[in-house]
């Protein structure tokens, strides 16, 4: 079946944003220092930026895929290719036949297997265009429940894997001094218990500390993971791999053995799997990453669900540029995001960005109240940091 046929069959279309052109870029942002997790190391943050353009509007989106296919199967060059060759042509073809809204993107691309981060990038660009046209902020778009979006969100930061426990503790202390309210440290076998002990000892009992294993442990590590309980961690994130058909059951079994709350990240790839994980007791904390769900609107639905069921949740980041970072801040303003997320200042990771910097203010970050992301784009920096671009028109 051709994509064109599938698009016609699947498309429900209503309002016309009049999309005629989509610009795709790969930008390269220099990191202050390499960021190391158990799934790999990022030294330069390349990312795909999507700009949808109509006669009198534009909308900006960002694909969260990392430079290499290590966190998930998506990666920058692959995401650029699937956007250029499949998703954007499909969007433009559909938009030429009938109006398209952001909420139609999930069904429009349901024909395609995988590529959730690429799909979410287009949805974000359409959401941004609609917010700009409608005169409301992304945060307001994401929060329809009372009391509405928060005006500021607390800042949290992630510390990558380092060579020694002492070095990790020193960095943690520096981040606390900068005002961060929550420290997340990456762990993996061999860089875990003593590293956590050093950090907890350095920052004291009053600072929220959590650890993220990115699935680096197995069910044979239950005894080691039990040792986490002595550090009063707010949670352990994705201790076991998300691979295989039984990852939720394996996490539920671990949850029965340890007191430290389990948070799931990589395992939660859909609204249905998130609800199932909560039901099974596989996690008591939810990391909400819109690009992982393939939809910012699905991420909102997950936050609505967590709020309705009294489940703690927070918004995770992906070393995002200023576009994805602002979108995550808007999402973190949802009342369902009850815990401190990966919401950090631009300067924490990058020496240069395509947007005006996101800054800390007494440990908090302002939620953008402006309509549309376009006003935050630094067009000169965008050109300077672009390494590849293409424009696709109907």
**Catalytic residue list:** 186, 289
Give the x/- contact pattern for Mg ion in 232-251, rule: CB under 5 A: -----x--------------
Cα gap 254→114, rounded to integer Å: 28
Total chain residues near Mg ion (CB under 5 A) = 3
Contact flag: residue 212 with Mg ion (CB under 5 A): yes
Pairing label, strands 40-53, 21-37: antiparallel
CB of residue 235 to Mg ion, shortest distance in Å: 11
Q: Pick the closer one to Mg ion by CB: 95 or 162.
A: 162
Sole window of 27-35, 146-154, 260-268, 320-328 interacting with Mg ion (rule: CB under 5 A): 260-268
How far, in Å, are 155, 190, 230 from residue 176 at the CA level? 10, 25, 21
Q: Pick the closer one to Mg ion by CB: 74 or 237.
A: 237
CB of residue 238 to Mg ion, shortest distance in Å: 5
Contact flag: residue 342 with Mg ion (CB under 5 A): no
Sole window of 155-163, 180-188, 230-238, 250-258 interacting with Mg ion (rule: CB under 5 A): 230-238
Residues 237 and 187: beta-carbon distance below 8 Å: no
Cα gap 10→28, rounded to integer Å: 35
User: Interaction with Mg ion in 349-378: which residues (CB under 5 A)?
Assistant: none
CB of residue 105 to Mg ion, shortest distance in Å: 25
Place of tokens 């929060």: 143
Smallest Cα–Cα separation from 324: which of 28, 65, 9, 136? 65
CB of residue 184 to Mg ion, shortest distance in Å: 8
- Determine the number of helices (DSSP H) and then strands (DSSP E) in the chain: 15, 13
Q: Pick the closer one to Mg ion by CB: 17 or 215.
A: 215
CB of residue 343 to Mg ion, shortest distance in Å: 14
Q: Pick the closer one to Mg ion by CB: 53 or 236.
A: 236
Q: Pick the closer one to Mg ion by CB: 212 or 353.
A: 212
Sole window of 70-78, 212-220, 222-230, 341-349 interacting with Mg ion (rule: CB under 5 A): 212-220
CB of residue 212 to Mg ion, shortest distance in Å: 5
Contact flag: residue 320 with Mg ion (CB under 5 A): no
Ramachandran angles phi, psi of 42, nearest 5°: -110, 125
Q: What is the DSSP letter of 367?
A: P
CB of residue 272 to Mg ion, shortest distance in Å: 20
User: Interaction with Mg ion in 15-74: which residues (CB under 5 A)?
Assistant: none
CB of residue 140 to Mg ion, shortest distance in Å: 27
Q: Which of 208, 265, 304, 312 binds Mg ion (CB under 5 A)?
A: 265
Burial 338-373 (b: 16+ CB within 10 A, else e): bbbbbbbbbeebbeebbbeebebeebbbebbeebbb
Q: Pick the closer one to Mg ion by CB: 221 or 366.
A: 221
Q: Pick the closer one to Mg ion by CB: 237 or 275.
A: 237
Which residue's Cβ has the minimum distance to Mg ion? 265
How far, in Å, are 36, 126, 189, 210 from residue 145 at the CA level? 37, 22, 41, 28
Q: Pick the closer one to Mg ion by CB: 238 or 295.
A: 238
* Beta partners for residue 365, in sequence order: 153
User: Interaction with Mg ion in 71-100: which residues (CB under 5 A)?
Assistant: none
Cα gap 196→186, rounded to integer Å: 10
Long-range contacts, 6-10 (Cβ 8 Å, 24+): 6/111, 7/90, 7/93, 7/94, 7/108, 7/111, 8/94, 8/97, 10/107, 10/108, 10/110, 10/111
How far, in Å, are 158, 172, 184, 199 from residue 166 at the CA level? 16, 10, 16, 8
Contact residues for Mg ion, defined by CB under 5 A: 212, 237, 265
């Amino acid at each position: 079946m051709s994509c064109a046929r599938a698009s016609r069959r699947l498309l429900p279309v209503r309002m016309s944003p009049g999309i005629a052109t989509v610009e795709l870029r790969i930008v390269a942002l220099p990191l202050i220092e390499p960021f190391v997790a158990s799934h790999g190391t990022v030294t330069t943050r390349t990312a795909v930026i999507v700009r949808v353009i109509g006669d009198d509007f534009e909308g900006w989106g960002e694909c969260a895929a990392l430079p290499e296919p290590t966190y998930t199967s998506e990666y920058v060059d692959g995401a650029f290719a699937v956007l250029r060759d499949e998703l954007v042509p499909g969007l433009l073809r559909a938009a030429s036949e009938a109006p398209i809204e952001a909420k139609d993107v999930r069904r429009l691309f349901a024909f395609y297997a995988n590529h959730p981060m690429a799909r979410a990038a287009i949805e974000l660009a359409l959401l941004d265009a609609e917010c700009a046209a409608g005169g409301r902020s992304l945060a307001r778009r994401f929060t329809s429940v009372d009391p509405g979006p928060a005006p500021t969100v607390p800042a949290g930061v992630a510390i990558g894997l380092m060579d020694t426990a002492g070095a990790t503790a020193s960095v943690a202390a520096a981040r606390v001094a900068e005002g961060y309210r929550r420290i997340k440290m990456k762990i993996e076998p061999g860089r875990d218990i003593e590293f956590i002990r050093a950090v907890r000892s350095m920052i004291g009992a009053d600072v929220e500390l959590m650890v993220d294993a990115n699935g680096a442990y197995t069910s044979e590590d239950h005894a080691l993971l039990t040792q986490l309980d002595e550090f009063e961690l707010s949670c352990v994130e994705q201790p076991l791999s998300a691979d295989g058909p039984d990852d939720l059951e394996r996490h539920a079994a671990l949850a029965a053995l340890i007191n430290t709350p389990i948070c799931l990240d990589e395992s939660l790839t859909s609204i249905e799997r998130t609800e199932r994980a909560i039901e099974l007791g596989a996690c008591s904390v939810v990391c909400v990453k819109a690009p992982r769900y393939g939809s910012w609107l699905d991420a909102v639905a997950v936050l609505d669900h967590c709020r309705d069921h009294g489940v703690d949740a927070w918004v995770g980041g992906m070393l995002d540029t200023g576009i994805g970072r602002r979108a995550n801040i808007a999402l973190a303003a949802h009342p369902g995001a009850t815990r401190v997320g990966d919401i950090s200042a631009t300067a924490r990771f990058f020496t240069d960005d395509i947007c005006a910097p996101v800054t800390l203010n007494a440990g908090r970050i302002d939620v953008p109240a402006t309509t549309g992301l376009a006003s935050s784009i630094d067009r000169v920096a965008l050109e300077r940091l672009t390494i590849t671009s293409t424009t696709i028109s109907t």
